[in-house]
């Protein structure tokens, strides 16, 4: 079936040394030959696969740029279709002019992620690998990048496919035994299936349990800074960010809404959220900010509580400590203003809370190295324990895994209750289908469109 030919700028829309315009579809080569001629001004008539041609892009004979044209014949291309890539000088105006020229010669502008979508539809990659493409692009730390590249290489696909094959074998055996009981014996089969189910469930539950770590890898440690007004929360954010991200004044209640910043600390990505100071106030806007701060803290991976060490614990400090204890939040306590005489010490707070306590001075920027060491030690080496395992970071994958696990547990329940073997098939098939959604074997068009709509243009 003939498909239309798409074109887009495949490099960033910023001035650079090289820009790439990608063309893919059945008319890719004819469109390329319409806008390109070789250095000796001969038209491009023969398209040798995986060949680079040096020449010019022209508009009705008028030279626009000196370029290199790359030819990839389908199915040996990224999309699986005939593909041409024009490597031009990387000016924004130049890239747009060449793209416009391709469109005038028969291509249409590609939608977000349409090249990768075609690669998926043409069987060049599975859906988990396609999603990993965008994860690689958006990775903001080494651990996230390593995990995304691993999934791009098919690690998740292999695991899911291996499990689906095991389930498929059991389905086929049950169906064969029910159709041909003389040659396929089901005597003792439920017990054997129970052992196999335990092995499959261990694999899937390990993957599902990796979601929180995987989310932290890709989205960062959701870190909420709490404290009463004027204890140095915004100063701390500015130090970590390396810029004046938040306004700092001596006026209590300066920060009324949340301020968010992505910060890389020793390879660990922090999604830091500075919040309004926690205190009683008649100001309606400030009250909203306080409620919002506490709501966000409930969803945090790490609460950083800043306390003024130059004064005694206030009712506001005690209220925050109770909030952290009630909500069972992982907490790091910073005793700020160590440049002033100490009134509240480390031993007192550590004994009271059981949390790690670090003394800092946001004014003098002392204690910050110890803070960073705690974060890298806790998350890079301790909490994540990153090695060669697969971490899932996609909520869609977690949902599908949870549904598959639930179906397999139903099979185990049917075995325990000594239900007929055809009951096993129903839930085994359900688990098989749920896992297929991860790699795109059993997923509807709406889900596919939603996934690729999140991609960047030209990819």
Residue 305 pLDDT greater than 90, yes or no? no
For 101-125, what is each residue's pLDDT tens digit?
999 999 999 998 899 999 999 989 8
Topology classification of domain 232-383: Rossmann fold (3.40.50)
**Cα 117 to Cα 79: distance, rounded to the nearest angstrom:** 8
Q: What is the structure's pLDDT at 255?
A: 47
Q: What per-residue confidence (pLDDT) applies to 212?
A: 76
Q: What are phi and psi of 167, to 5 degrees?
A: -65, -40
* Domain 6-110: top CATH class: alpha beta
State the helix-helix crossing angle for 142-152 and 127-138, rounded to 10 degrees.
160
The whole-number pLDDT of residue 84 equals 95
pLDDT tier at 26, thresholds 50, 70, 90 = very high
| Cβ-contact 443, 436 below 8 angstroms | yes
- pLDDT category of residue 274 using cuts at 50, 70 and 90: confident
Handedness of CA 442, 448, 450, 452 (dihedral sign): positive
Res. 91 pLDDT band, cuts 50 70 90 = very high
Mean per-residue pLDDT for 126-134? 82
Cα–Cα dist 248/190, whole Å: 67
- Residue 311 phi/psi, 5-degree rounding, is -140, 165
CB neighbour list of residue 112: distance below 8 Å, 6 or more residues apart: 452, 453, 454, 455, 456, 457, 459
Q: What are phi and psi of 259, to 5 degrees?
A: -125, 125
| Distance, CA of 387 to CA of 217 (rounded, Å) | 13
Mean pLDDT comparison of 168-172, 297-301, 407-411, highest-scoring range? 407-411
Helix (H) or strand (E) run with residue 85 in it: strand 83-90
Q: In this prediction, what percent of the chain has a pLDDT beyond 70?
A: 88
Pick 130-210+392-452's CATH classification: 3.20.20.150, 2.30.110.10, 1.20.120.430, 3.20.20.70: 1.20.120.430
Specify which of 65-69, 168-172, 286-290 reaches the highest per-range mean pLDDT. Answer: 65-69
Q: Name every residue whose Cβ is closer than 8 Å to that of residue 268 and which is 6 or more positions away in sequence.
A: 141, 143, 221, 375, 376, 379, 380
Query: So where are the chain's domains?
Result: 6-110, 130-210+392-452, 232-383
For residue 394, give the nearest of 456, 329, 447 by alpha carbon.
447
- 154-165 pLDDT tens trace: 888 999 999 999
Give me the helices (H) in 40-104, please. Answer: 92-104
Buried b (16+ CB within 10 A) or exposed e, 85-111: bbbbebeeebbebbbebbbebbbeebe
pLDDT tens, residue by residue, 378-402: 776 544 454 566 778 788 899 999 9
């Amino acid at each position: 079936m003939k498909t239309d030919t798409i074109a887009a700028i495949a490099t960033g829309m910023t001035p650079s040394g090289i820009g790439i315009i990608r063309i893919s579809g059945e008319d890719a080569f004819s469109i390329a030959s319409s806008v390109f001629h070789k250095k000796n001004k001969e038209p491009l008539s023969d398209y040798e696969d995986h060949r680079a041609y040096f020449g010019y892009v022209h508009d009705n004979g008028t030279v626009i740029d000196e370029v290199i044209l790359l030819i990839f014949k389908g199915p040996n291309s990224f999309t699986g279709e005939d593909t041409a890539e024009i490597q031009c000088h990387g000016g924004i105006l130049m890239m747009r002019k060449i793209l416009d020229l391709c469109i005038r010669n028969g291509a249409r502008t590609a939608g977000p992620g349409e090249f990768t979508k075609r690669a998926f539809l043409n069987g060049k990659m599975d859906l988990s690998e396609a999603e990993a493409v965008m994860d690689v692009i958006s990775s903001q730390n080494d651990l996230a990048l390593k995990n995304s590249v691993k999934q791009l290489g098919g690690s998740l696909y292999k695991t899911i496919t291996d499990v689906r094959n095991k389930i498929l074998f059991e389905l086929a055996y049950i169906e064969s035994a029910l159709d041909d009981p003389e040659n396929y014996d089901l005597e003792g089969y439920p017990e054997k299936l129970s052992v196999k189910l335990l092995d499959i469930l261990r694999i899937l539950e390990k993957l599902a349990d990796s979601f929180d770590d995987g989310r932290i890898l890709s989205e960062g440690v959701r870190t909420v800074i709490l404290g009463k007004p004027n204890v140095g929360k915004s100063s701390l954010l500015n130090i970590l960010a390396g810029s004046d991200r938040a306004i700092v004044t001596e006026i209590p209640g300066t920060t009324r809404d949340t301020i968010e910043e992505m910060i890389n600390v020793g390879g660990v990505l922090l999604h830091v959220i500075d919040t309004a100071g926690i205190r009683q106030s008649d100001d309606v806007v400030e009250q909203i900010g306080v409620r919002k701060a506490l709501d966000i803290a409930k969803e945090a991976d790490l609460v950083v509580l800043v306390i003024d060490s130059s004064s005694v614990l206030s009712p506001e400090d005690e209220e925050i400590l109770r909030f952290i204890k009630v909500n069972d939040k992982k907490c790091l306590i910073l005793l700020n203003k160590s440049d002033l005489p100490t009134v509240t010490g480390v031993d007192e707070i550590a004994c009271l809370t059981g949390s790690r306590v670090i003394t800092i001075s946001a004014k003098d920027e002392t204690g910050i190295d110890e803070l960073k060491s705690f974060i890298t030690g806790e998350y890079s080496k301790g909490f994540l324990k990153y090695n060669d395992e697969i971490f899932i970071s996609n909520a869609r994958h977690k949902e599908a895994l949870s549904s598959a696990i639930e179906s397999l547990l139903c099979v185990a329940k049917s075995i325990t209750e000594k239900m007929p073997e055809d009951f096993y098939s129903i839930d085994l098939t359900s688990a098989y289908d749920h896992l297929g959604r991860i790699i795109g074997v059993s997923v509807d068009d709406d889900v596919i469109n939603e996934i690729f709509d999140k991609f960047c243009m030209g990819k």
